[in-house]
Structure 1
């Protein structure tokens, strides 16, 4: 690979919710001029960040400082935040969507509706953005909003974040724990999965508990995908995927994007940033062992999590690709991990 900066397509970021909380649509200008967060235009150019899943996320009224402090302890069990009603969630979702389309109007990214759109954007050195919803609180039980969001460009959806919705139940931030916590999808949730299949919206398994995961596996006809999740065998956190879940993902020809959030990387599950990149490679090794080389990618959770101190922003991503090379991964495998596997599974899911 030489000194070439490899293009990275990433499974998850929370730029939109951060811009929403820092001023809404007017704050979109900071993506071009420079912002304190993990991803902006300049950091993307420096690090080879070529695009990814831009999440619309409805924040819960929780004390983040308290949450992160609790997660530095050797064990913790944070209660699930309360459900958010659609009338409260929809205006927030629309506001974040407006930020996404403002970024497109400014010419800093392209909202992509197909794998060919992503390839074209990457070829033109424009950030390729997938409109993703993390937690379906903003979608009414008749799914009218889903139809409208699809026409606006929605191509990926997680039925839950780590709290309940009318569609299913999220997994709590609990360590140590397996993900077999609580009920799975509701009848409306099964309806949502089938409608996503019919429209061509990828279903994201990250944040679902075990019962919800297996409900999707039973009812979805598409590849099983977790955009930002890690290996439970290495870090026994409730948010991570067991080997049985990884086997199901492999059988469906889906994939997993490695989450950079340190609490899901560390053996001890603590939210502390002193995590070496070699620990991330341990997870990738395990995911490759269980899933195969064609079903593993990256899902950074940038702008939504505490990440390893050596990978604080998108500008640092070449450190990860260099570590992959030093770890013994060949160039074809590194390119798969960085972007090719995402393009493969999206093309298979969307049909184009």
Structure 2
């Protein structure tokens, strides 16, 4: 069973290790994602996010550039095993050559200095998917989960949770998503608030994604999608990626609850019954999760496959979840 994963934070994890003086490698490492683990898990394509904390540095875009450099250094060092995807046809080309595919994404699209010229430059650098916000307001829009500024110096920042159906995309944000569609960059609404989601739905025409978001009705966290949002995503032909973070899978009595396969299956069952199988994909959030994982890394993905088959999903349904649904969106949007 092939695997396409729409979100991981491995590049940030590797850069953090390098900043501590450690030698880093994409081929083999202590992260949840490396080439050896992806091969064992039968991966076809991994999205690699460049996550930038907009309030960490005076000029946060410098961090984005360091992450970009790390990403391309890792690809260059492993070019016999993995290659970037700039257009949809690259995926089949890389597979034919026996290589994994890598798609570059941004997590927090605010790293553009509120300037569409910078958005176009990120496209030229290879970015093909952008999450419009993270847990801060930015020049594009607003999130449902907000980092509490009173906890900014904490190692585990407190999150303010709300359902924001009022503050939609800014005027700049409206132009931003329209330019993304024109360029062929996939719009990612994970982290975006409800009002922003509906602005994306109302002011775009192509499929978009929630790269690492679950169903709010199963796990009532504002970061997840409501039933109406899932149905709208289905209507547009988009896809949502199952997030493996335990706190987004099911309710827990304490922080950092275990990420359980059983909870993943329950999420998928609910979404299938609500909106059908074609809206479901994978967005693990590997290397960005602070909880105990039953699926510890990319090599364990067959465990989820078997759990879904045991729960009564057909092989064709599991294939759609694992890679076919996401590839359908990529084929339509990537130029």
TM-score normalised by L of structure 2: 0.89
- Aligned partners of 1:177 and 1:236 also within 8 Å: no
1:92 correspondence with 2:63: yes
Structure 1 segment 15-54 matched on structure 2, within 5 A: 15-23=10-18, 29-32=24-27, 34-54=28-48
3-state SS, counterpart of residue 31 of structure 1: coil
Task: Write out per-residue CA displacement over residues 171-193 of structure 1, whole angstroms, 9 at most, x where no aligned residue.
Answer: 21699966336622111111101
1:267/1:155 CA distance change after superposition, 3 Å: same
- Cα distance in 1 between the residues matched to 2:180 and 2:160: 33
The alpha-carbon deviation at position 125 of structure 1 amounts to: 3.5
Task: Write out per-residue CA displacement over residues 255-310 of structure 1, whole angstroms, 9 at most, x where no aligned residue.
Answer: 11100011000134754343431211111111222332222111000000135532
Partner of 2:283: 299
- Cα distance in 2 between the residues matched to 1:181 and 1:12: 25
3-state SS, counterpart of residue 96 of structure 1: helix
Task: Write out per-residue CA displacement over residues 124-164 of structure 1, whole angstroms, 9 at most, x where no aligned residue.
Answer: 34221111001023212221111111112111011111111
1:167 correspondence with 2:140: yes
Partner of 1:247: 231
* Corresponding residue pairs, total: 322
- Cα distance in 1 between the residues matched to 2:197 and 2:26: 35
- Cα distance in 2 between the residues matched to 1:177 and 1:159: 18
Structure 1 segment 1-352 matched on structure 2, within 5 A: 6-23=1-18, 29-32=24-27, 34-59=28-53, 88-106=59-77, 107=79, 108-172=81-145, 179-180=163-164, 183-268=167-252, 270-306=254-290, 309-351=293-335
- Cα distance in 2 between the residues matched to 1:228 and 1:269: 22
- Aligned partners of 2:140 and 2:173 also within 8 Å: yes
- Cα distance in 2 between the residues matched to 1:129 and 1:325: 28
The alpha-carbon deviation at position 319 of structure 1 amounts to: 0.8
- Cα distance in 2 between the residues matched to 1:163 and 1:248: 24
TM-score normalised by L of structure 1: 0.85
